[in-house]
Protein backbone atom coordinates (compact mmCIF):
# COMPACT_ATOMS: atom_id res chain seq x y z
CA UNK A 1 0.00 0.00 0.00
CA UNK A 2 1.49 3.33 -1.10
CA UNK A 3 1.58 5.95 1.65
CA UNK A 4 -0.92 8.80 1.12
CA UNK A 5 -2.56 6.99 -1.81
CA UNK A 6 -6.36 6.77 -2.02
CA UNK A 7 -6.15 3.21 -0.64
CA UNK A 8 -3.99 4.44 2.26
CA UNK A 9 -6.49 7.16 3.21
CA UNK A 10 -9.44 4.74 2.94
CA UNK A 11 -7.71 2.19 5.16
CA UNK A 12 -6.86 4.71 7.86
CA UNK A 13 -10.30 6.30 7.76
CA UNK A 14 -11.90 2.90 8.37
CA UNK A 15 -9.48 2.16 11.21
CA UNK A 16 -9.68 5.19 13.48
CA UNK A 17 -11.80 6.08 16.48
CA UNK A 18 -13.86 8.75 14.71
CA UNK A 19 -15.03 6.49 11.89
CA UNK A 20 -15.79 3.68 14.34
CA UNK A 21 -17.87 6.12 16.42
CA UNK A 22 -19.81 7.24 13.34
CA UNK A 23 -20.62 3.77 12.02
CA UNK A 24 -18.98 0.40 12.51
CA UNK A 25 -19.86 -3.24 12.94
CA UNK A 26 -18.18 -6.54 13.66
CA UNK A 27 -19.35 -10.10 14.12
CA UNK A 28 -18.03 -13.56 14.92
CA UNK A 29 -19.26 -17.09 14.51
CA UNK A 30 -18.90 -19.20 17.64
CA UNK A 31 -18.29 -22.83 16.69
CA UNK A 32 -18.34 -25.97 18.79
CA UNK A 33 -18.01 -29.74 18.69
CA UNK A 34 -18.60 -32.64 21.08
CA UNK A 35 -16.98 -36.06 20.97
CA UNK A 36 -20.12 -37.52 19.37
CA UNK A 37 -19.75 -35.18 16.40
CA UNK A 38 -15.97 -35.61 16.08
CA UNK A 39 -15.25 -37.15 12.69
CA UNK A 40 -12.87 -40.10 12.07
CA UNK A 41 -9.38 -38.98 11.15
CA UNK A 42 -6.67 -40.67 9.08
CA UNK A 43 -3.67 -39.00 7.47
CA UNK A 44 -0.06 -39.73 6.64
CA UNK A 45 0.91 -36.12 7.33
CA UNK A 46 3.24 -35.81 10.36
CA UNK A 47 1.22 -33.49 12.61
CA UNK A 48 2.81 -33.08 16.04
CA UNK A 49 1.71 -31.90 19.48
CA UNK A 50 3.75 -29.28 21.36
CA UNK A 51 6.87 -29.66 19.23
CA UNK A 52 7.91 -26.05 19.71
CA UNK A 53 11.21 -26.61 17.93
CA UNK A 54 9.19 -26.81 14.69
CA UNK A 55 8.74 -23.02 14.88
CA UNK A 56 12.32 -22.69 13.64
CA UNK A 57 11.00 -23.67 10.18
CA UNK A 58 8.80 -20.56 9.99
CA UNK A 59 9.38 -18.53 6.81
CA UNK A 60 8.75 -14.84 6.22
CA UNK A 61 6.18 -14.86 3.40
CA UNK A 62 4.60 -11.45 4.00
CA UNK A 63 6.17 -7.99 4.11
CA UNK A 64 5.15 -7.62 7.76
CA UNK A 65 6.58 -10.98 8.87
CA UNK A 66 9.59 -10.93 11.18
CA UNK A 67 11.00 -14.33 12.07
CA UNK A 68 12.94 -13.07 15.08
CA UNK A 69 9.79 -11.56 16.61
CA UNK A 70 7.81 -14.66 15.72
CA UNK A 71 10.26 -16.95 17.52
CA UNK A 72 10.27 -14.63 20.54
CA UNK A 73 6.47 -14.82 20.75
CA UNK A 74 6.57 -18.61 20.35
CA UNK A 75 9.07 -18.88 23.21
CA UNK A 76 6.72 -16.86 25.42
CA UNK A 77 3.80 -19.11 24.50
CA UNK A 78 5.83 -22.20 25.37
CA UNK A 79 6.89 -20.73 28.74
CA UNK A 80 3.25 -19.87 29.46
CA UNK A 81 2.25 -23.49 29.00
CA UNK A 82 0.23 -23.00 25.83
CA UNK A 83 -0.36 -25.87 23.42
CA UNK A 84 0.20 -26.17 19.70
CA UNK A 85 -0.13 -28.50 16.73
CA UNK A 86 2.50 -28.18 14.03
CA UNK A 87 3.19 -29.62 10.60
CA UNK A 88 6.54 -29.27 8.86
CA UNK A 89 6.77 -30.09 5.14
CA UNK A 90 9.78 -29.52 2.88
CA UNK A 91 11.57 -27.76 5.76
CA UNK A 92 8.71 -25.25 6.00
CA UNK A 93 6.32 -24.65 8.87
CA UNK A 94 3.27 -25.58 6.81
CA UNK A 95 0.66 -25.41 9.58
CA UNK A 96 0.36 -24.33 13.20
CA UNK A 97 -2.69 -24.09 15.46
CA UNK A 98 -2.80 -23.14 19.13
CA UNK A 99 -5.30 -24.50 21.62
CA UNK A 100 -6.10 -24.21 25.31
CA UNK A 101 -7.22 -26.92 27.72
CA UNK A 102 -9.86 -26.44 30.42
CA UNK A 103 -10.71 -22.94 29.19
CA UNK A 104 -13.08 -21.00 31.43
CA UNK A 105 -14.11 -18.15 29.13
CA UNK A 106 -13.21 -16.07 26.09
CA UNK A 107 -13.49 -12.34 25.56
CA UNK A 108 -14.08 -11.41 21.94
CA UNK A 109 -12.72 -7.89 22.09
CA UNK A 110 -13.79 -6.87 18.57
CA UNK A 111 -17.43 -7.23 19.61
CA UNK A 112 -16.99 -6.68 23.36
CA UNK A 113 -18.73 -9.95 24.25
CA UNK A 114 -17.59 -12.54 26.80
CA UNK A 115 -18.60 -16.19 26.58
CA UNK A 116 -18.32 -18.44 29.64
CA UNK A 117 -17.79 -22.16 28.98
CA UNK A 118 -18.88 -25.34 30.78
CA UNK A 119 -16.29 -27.53 32.52
CA UNK A 120 -13.76 -29.42 30.40
CA UNK A 121 -13.91 -27.08 27.41
CA UNK A 122 -10.96 -26.74 25.05
CA UNK A 123 -10.55 -23.68 22.82
CA UNK A 124 -8.63 -23.20 19.61
CA UNK A 125 -7.15 -20.00 18.22
CA UNK A 126 -4.56 -18.48 15.86
CA UNK A 127 -4.28 -21.02 13.07
CA UNK A 128 -1.69 -20.35 10.33
CA UNK A 129 -0.94 -22.14 7.08
CA UNK A 130 2.03 -21.43 4.79
CA UNK A 131 0.93 -19.88 1.45
CA UNK A 132 2.61 -22.67 -0.53
CA UNK A 133 0.52 -25.27 1.29
CA UNK A 134 -2.88 -23.63 1.02
CA UNK A 135 -5.62 -25.16 -1.09
CA UNK A 136 -4.47 -28.71 -0.30
CA UNK A 137 -6.89 -29.52 2.52
CA UNK A 138 -4.18 -29.18 5.18
CA UNK A 139 -6.20 -26.64 7.16
CA UNK A 140 -9.13 -29.04 7.57
CA UNK A 141 -6.82 -31.99 8.32
CA UNK A 142 -5.00 -29.96 10.96
CA UNK A 143 -8.27 -29.00 12.63
CA UNK A 144 -9.43 -32.63 12.60
CA UNK A 145 -6.12 -33.71 14.12
CA UNK A 146 -6.62 -31.20 16.94
CA UNK A 147 -10.18 -32.33 17.70
CA UNK A 148 -9.28 -36.03 17.65
CA UNK A 149 -6.32 -35.41 19.95
CA UNK A 150 -8.45 -33.43 22.39
CA UNK A 151 -11.24 -35.99 22.64
CA UNK A 152 -9.00 -39.06 22.66
CA UNK A 153 -6.11 -37.88 24.83
CA UNK A 154 -7.51 -35.23 27.20
CA UNK A 155 -10.57 -34.73 29.41
CA UNK A 156 -12.15 -32.41 26.85
CA UNK A 157 -15.94 -32.57 26.71
CA UNK A 158 -16.54 -29.57 24.46
CA UNK A 159 -14.28 -28.10 21.78
CA UNK A 160 -14.89 -24.44 20.87
CA UNK A 161 -13.55 -22.07 18.23
CA UNK A 162 -14.47 -18.74 16.66
CA UNK A 163 -13.95 -16.96 13.38
CA UNK A 164 -14.84 -13.53 12.06
CA UNK A 165 -17.98 -13.77 9.96
CA UNK A 166 -16.31 -11.98 7.04
CA UNK A 167 -13.56 -14.62 6.89
CA UNK A 168 -15.52 -17.02 4.72
CA UNK A 169 -12.59 -19.29 3.88
CA UNK A 170 -11.74 -19.89 7.54
CA UNK A 171 -15.40 -20.42 8.44
CA UNK A 172 -15.78 -22.94 5.63
CA UNK A 173 -12.64 -24.76 6.79
CA UNK A 174 -13.92 -24.92 10.36
CA UNK A 175 -17.23 -26.42 9.24
CA UNK A 176 -15.45 -28.92 6.99
CA UNK A 177 -13.38 -30.06 9.98
CA UNK A 178 -16.54 -30.98 11.90
CA UNK A 179 -17.29 -27.89 13.98
CA UNK A 180 -20.83 -26.47 14.04
CA UNK A 181 -21.81 -22.81 13.98
CA UNK A 182 -23.63 -22.47 17.30
CA UNK A 183 -24.00 -18.70 17.62
CA UNK A 184 -23.29 -15.38 15.97
CA UNK A 185 -21.88 -12.58 18.13
CA UNK A 186 -22.47 -9.06 16.83
CA UNK A 187 -21.59 -5.49 17.74
CA UNK A 188 -22.72 -2.39 15.87
CA UNK A 189 -22.17 1.30 16.52
CA UNK A 190 -24.03 4.23 14.97
CA UNK A 191 -23.17 7.75 16.14
CA UNK A 192 -21.78 6.36 19.38
CA UNK A 193 -24.78 4.16 20.18
CA UNK A 194 -23.47 0.63 20.65
CA UNK A 195 -25.65 -2.48 20.28
CA UNK A 196 -24.49 -6.00 21.10
CA UNK A 197 -26.43 -9.13 20.16
CA UNK A 198 -26.08 -12.88 20.36
CA UNK A 199 -28.02 -15.13 17.97
CA UNK A 200 -28.29 -18.88 18.59
CA UNK A 201 -27.79 -20.98 15.47
CA UNK A 202 -27.83 -24.62 16.63
CA UNK A 203 -30.57 -26.56 18.49
CA UNK A 204 -28.07 -28.43 20.70
CA UNK A 205 -26.55 -25.28 22.20
CA UNK A 206 -27.90 -22.23 23.97
CA UNK A 207 -26.44 -19.01 25.32
CA UNK A 208 -27.75 -17.70 28.63
CA UNK A 209 -27.12 -14.13 29.78
CA UNK A 210 -24.91 -13.99 32.88
CA UNK A 211 -26.76 -12.09 35.57
CA UNK A 212 -24.99 -8.94 36.73
CA UNK A 213 -22.43 -9.07 33.91
CA UNK A 214 -23.37 -6.98 30.86
CA UNK A 215 -22.41 -8.45 27.47
CA UNK A 216 -21.61 -11.83 29.04
CA UNK A 217 -23.24 -15.10 28.05
CA UNK A 218 -22.82 -18.66 29.29
CA UNK A 219 -22.62 -21.38 26.64
CA UNK A 220 -24.65 -24.45 27.55
CA UNK A 221 -24.90 -27.81 25.85
CA UNK A 222 -28.41 -29.25 25.50
CA UNK A 223 -28.18 -33.01 25.90
Domains of the chain: which residue ranges? 25-221
Closest CA to 207 of 54, 20, 30: 30
Average pLDDT over residues 132-152: 92
The per-residue pLDDT for 101 is 95
Percent of the chain clearing pLDDT 70 (strictly above): 87
Of 59-73, 136-150, 164-178, 180-194, the range with the lowest mean pLDDT is 180-194
CATH code reported for the domain at 25-221:
3.40.630.30
97 vs 176, residue with greater confidence: 97
* Residue 125 pLDDT grade (very low, low, confident, very high; cuts 50, 70, 90): confident
Backbone angles phi, psi at 109, to 5 degrees: -65, -30
Q: What is the per-residue pLDDT for 21?
A: 46
Assess contact for 200 and 182: CB atoms under 8 A: yes
Confidence label for 8 from pLDDT (cuts 50, 70 and 90):
low
Predicted pLDDT of residue 73: 95
pLDDT at 176: 86
Of the candidate ranges 50-59, 97-106, 164-173, 191-200, the one whose mean pLDDT is the lowest? 191-200
**Strand, helix or coil for residue 171:** helix
pLDDT, tens only, 16-54 = 555 554 556 788 899 999 988 887 788 899 999 999 999
Residue 14: the pLDDT is 56
The answer for residues whose C-beta is within 8 angstroms of residue 143's C-beta and 6 or more apart is 97, 124, 127, 173, 174, 177, 178, 179
pLDDT at 48: 97
**Cβ neighbourhood burial of 71 (10 Å; 0-12, 13-18, 19+):** middle
152 phi and psi angles, rounded to 5 deg: -95, -25
- Furthest-apart CA atoms within the chain: distance in Å: 56
What's the rounded mean pLDDT across residues 132-145?
91
Amino acid sequence: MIKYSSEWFLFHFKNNDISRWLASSASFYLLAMTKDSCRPFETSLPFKINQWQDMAFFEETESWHNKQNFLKIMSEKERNGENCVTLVLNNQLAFVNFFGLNSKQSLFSDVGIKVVYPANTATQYSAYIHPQHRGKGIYQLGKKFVSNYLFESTNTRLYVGAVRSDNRAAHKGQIASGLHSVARLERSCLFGNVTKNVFELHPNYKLVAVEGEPASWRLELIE
